[in-house]
């Protein structure tokens, strides 16, 4: 066939239905917003398929038309105006591109707007209406997505990340592009089957039973049983009729095999119910352990319920206050989202000693603010923290030392997960020299921080990201659903 004409774009954000932080256009502009044709050499994770597509275009294998790329830090529901504006921009780019053989989209899968729970399905449906039935639509999405019937009806290929933490994004993007091109060339006929596991939980794949299950999925692919086998974890903080874990299997023109494999993997996942995530440690237990810790390396505490990577404000003070009350000193903590405190620290400058009111601002679950006197260690007008080969913006940021608590604290003007030690080191704080490290994160900190830590505890402190779905105020989910129901 002649050189295929390919349109590629990306639009996504992980939406926590219980977050108090509405997501607007400014959230995309702060992280990643690139109108059509303006994306530079650095490809954001939401647009991961762009990298292999660009390589193919450079080799003369395809004609590539790049549309809008927009990604935001996880937060609350999108305003409807924001969704319609950005969706309209992407669809306008596609219409202007003219007839195409292939559309490749980087989405999240858990994007909901006010009055529209399934933005991803809506967008795919509208893309299909433009390109018609003959063009191939291929979508890469996050394993924390919510797989809907509209997504299945509109797309020919749906590939999601296998690993959590998401260490395989580039690998999955390359697979999606490879399968999409094989489909366009007529080398394969993709058949998709889905098994609904009727459960919602967190699934860590670095160790334990989930690691073994993912390894089995990969082995099945290598034996040629399927083109792709993926477990869509779902997102327990999404409140939609499709909030559930599902298995999606893609075969080459064998719908019967796809359905059988999906059911087998789904049964294996259900058998692991309650064993797929690291145990949560009660806040009181974690604080007591921190008070007695005397290891050669720091004890690391993850404040998972205030993880901005799941849409939380990242300004809660519950755990910080409890550690201070227990006299736990030589503590490094971050990243606290507090634009006001950050601006005051930058205005004062390194070396200044200033009074600050820190954290406790976004909502009742943020707790009470901390009133402290702090020394400014270092500041930055444009700070960032590395993760998965990219730099994630922190906005303005400051490293502070609070002598009364012996607390070394990082504050920022932009909500960003504490992915790596550089969040501290770039602002004058050596995390390895501390007795205890507190990070606002759930899982993505592991790879970078584990070598520094003597022990890691995932702490069950109050916050927006309550990890027990039985305590979440769902209104739209489809019942029955484990563990809400027997």
Nearest-angstrom CA–CA distance, 486 and 482: 6
Asked if 250 and 258 count as a contact pair (C-beta separation under 8 A), the reply is yes
Instruction: Evaluate whether residue 405 is within a structural domain.
Output: yes
Mean pLDDT value across the chain: 96
Verify that 390 and 429 share a domain, yes or no: yes
Verify that 196 and 306 share a domain, yes or no: no
Nearest-angstrom CA–CA distance, 21 and 81: 15
Verify that 173 and 292 share a domain, yes or no: no
Verify that 245 and 367 share a domain, yes or no: no
Segment 65-87 mean pLDDT: 98
Instruction: Evaluate whether residue 363 is within a structural domain.
Output: yes
Say if residue 365's pLDDT is above 70. Answer: yes
Verify that 209 and 311 share a domain, yes or no: no
Segment 434-450 mean pLDDT: 95
Among 235, 270, 305, residue at a domain's last position: 270
Segment 50-66 mean pLDDT: 98
**Residue with tokens 């309650």, as numbered in its chain:** 274
Instruction: Evaluate whether residue 16 is within a structural domain.
Output: yes
How far is the first Cα of the chain from the last one, in angstroms, to the nearest whole number? 54
Nearest-angstrom CA–CA distance, 161 and 114: 27
Segment 343-359 mean pLDDT: 98
Annotate 78-125 with DSSP letters as a single string.
BPHHHHHHHHHHHHHHHHHH-S-SEEEEE--S---BTTBS-HHHHHHH
Verify that 139 and 119 share a domain, yes or no: yes
Annotate 29-66 with DSSP letters as a single string.
HHHEEE-TT---SS--GGGTTHHHHHHHHHTTS-EEEE
Verify that 261 and 286 share a domain, yes or no: no
Verify that 229 and 346 share a domain, yes or no: no
Segment 357-370 mean pLDDT: 96
Nearest-angstrom CA–CA distance, 61 and 182: 13
Say if residue 1's pLDDT is above 80. Answer: no
Nearest-angstrom CA–CA distance, 320 and 51: 41
Higher pLDDT, 1 or 198: 198
Verify that 374 and 455 share a domain, yes or no: yes
Verify that 375 and 266 share a domain, yes or no: no
Verify that 72 and 206 share a domain, yes or no: yes
Cα dihedral 239, 21, 400, 332, rounded to 10, equals: 0
Check residue 279 and give its pLDDT: 87
Segment 233-256 mean pLDDT: 97
Whether residue 480 is preceded by a cis peptide bond, meaning omega within 30 degrees of 0, is yes
Instruction: Evaluate whether residue 472 is within a structural domain.
Output: no
Segment 79-102 mean pLDDT: 98
Among 244, 270, 296, residue at a domain's last position: 270
Check residue 206 and give its pLDDT: 84
Check residue 159 and give its pLDDT: 98
Q: Which residues of 175-211 are buried (b: 16+ CB within 10 A; e: fewer)?
A: bbbebbbbbbeeebebbbbbbbbbbbbbbbbbeebbe
Segment 267-285 mean pLDDT: 94
Segment 451-469 mean pLDDT: 94
Percent of the chain with pLDDT over 70: 100
Which residues constitute the domain of residue 360? 280-466
Check residue 486 and give its pLDDT: 84
Instruction: Evaluate whether residue 475 is within a structural domain.
Output: no
Say if residue 379's pLDDT is above 80. Answer: yes
Check residue 139 and give its pLDDT: 98
For residue 475, name the pLDDT band (cuts at 50, 70, 90): very high
Segment 95-119 mean pLDDT: 97
Check residue 132 and give its pLDDT: 97
Instruction: Evaluate whether residue 116 is within a structural domain.
Output: yes
Per-residue pLDDT of 9-31, as tens digits, reads 999 999 999 999 999 999 999 99
Say if residue 113's pLDDT is above 70. Answer: yes
Segment 199-220 mean pLDDT: 94
Instruction: Evaluate whether residue 486 is within a structural domain.
Output: no
Say if residue 307's pLDDT is above 70. Answer: yes
Among 209, 243, 270, residue at a domain's last position: 270
**Residue with tokens 């995530």, as numbered in its chain:** 277
Instruction: Evaluate whether residue 123 is within a structural domain.
Output: yes
Check residue 2 and give its pLDDT: 85
Say if residue 53's pLDDT is above 80. Answer: yes
Verify that 144 and 225 share a domain, yes or no: yes
DSSP label at residue 246: E
How many domains are contained in the chain? 2
Per-residue pLDDT of 151-174, as tens digits, reads 999 999 999 999 998 999 999 999
């Amino acid at each position: 066939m002649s050189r295929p004409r390919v349109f590629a774009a990306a639009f996504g954000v992980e939406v926590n239905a219980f977050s108090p932080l509405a997501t607007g256009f400014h959230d995309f502009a702060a992280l990643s917003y690139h109108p059509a044709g303006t994306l530079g050499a650095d490809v954001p994770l939401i647009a991961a398929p762009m990298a292999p597509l660009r390589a193919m275009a450079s080799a003369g294998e395809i004609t590539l038309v790049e549309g809008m790329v927009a990604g935001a830090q996880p937060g609350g529901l999108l305003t409807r105006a924001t969704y319609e504006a950005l969706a309209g921009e992407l669809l306008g780019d596609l219409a202007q591109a003219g007839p195409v053989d292939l559309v490749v989209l980087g989405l999240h899968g858990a994007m909901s707007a006010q009055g529209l729970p399934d933005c991803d399905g809506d967008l795919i449906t509208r893309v299909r209406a433009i390109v018609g039935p003959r063009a191939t639509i291929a979508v890469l999405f996050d394993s924390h997505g919510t797989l809907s019937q509209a997504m299945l009806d509109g797309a020919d290929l749906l590939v999601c990340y296998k690993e959590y933490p998401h260490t395989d994004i580039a690998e999955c993007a390359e697979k999606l592009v490879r399968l999409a091109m094989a489909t366009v060339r007529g080398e394969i006929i993709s058949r998709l089957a889905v098994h609904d596991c009727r459960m919602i939980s967190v699934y860590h794949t670095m160790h334990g039973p989930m690691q073994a299950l993912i390894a089995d999925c990969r082995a099945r692919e290598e034996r040629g049983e399927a083109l792709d086998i993926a477990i869509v974890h779902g997102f327990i903080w999404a409140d939609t009729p499709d909030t559930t874990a599902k298995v999606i299997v893609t075969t080459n023109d064998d719908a019967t095999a796809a359905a059988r494999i999906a059911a087998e993997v789904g049964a294996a996942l259900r058998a692991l119910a309650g064993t797929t995530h690291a145990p949560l440690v009660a806040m009181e237990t974690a604080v007591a352990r921190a008070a007695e810790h005397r290891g050669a390396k720091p004890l690391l505490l993850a404040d998972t319920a205030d993880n901005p990577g799941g849409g939380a404000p990242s300004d809660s003070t519950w755990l910080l206050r409890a550690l201070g009350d227990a006299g736990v000193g030589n503590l490094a903590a971050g990243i606290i989202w507090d634009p006001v405190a950050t601006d005051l620290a930058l205005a004062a400058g390194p070396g200044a000693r200033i009074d600050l009111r820190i954290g406790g601002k976004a909502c009742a679950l943020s707790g009470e603010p901390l009133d402290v006197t702090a020394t400014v260690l270092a500041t930055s007008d444009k700070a960032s923290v590395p993760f998965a080969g990219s730099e994630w913006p922190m906005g303005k940021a400051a490293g502070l030392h609070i002598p009364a608590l012996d607390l070394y604290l990082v504050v920022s003007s932009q909500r960003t997960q504490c992915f790596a030690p550089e969040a501290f080191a770039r602002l004058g704080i050596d995390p390895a020299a501390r007795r205890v490290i507190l990070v606002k994160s759930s899982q993505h900190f592991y790879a970078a921080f584990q070598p520094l830590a003597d022990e890691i505890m995932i702490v069950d402190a109050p916050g927006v990201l309550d990890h027990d779905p039985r305590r979440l105020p769902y209104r739209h989910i489809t019942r029955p659903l484990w563990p809400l129901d027997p």
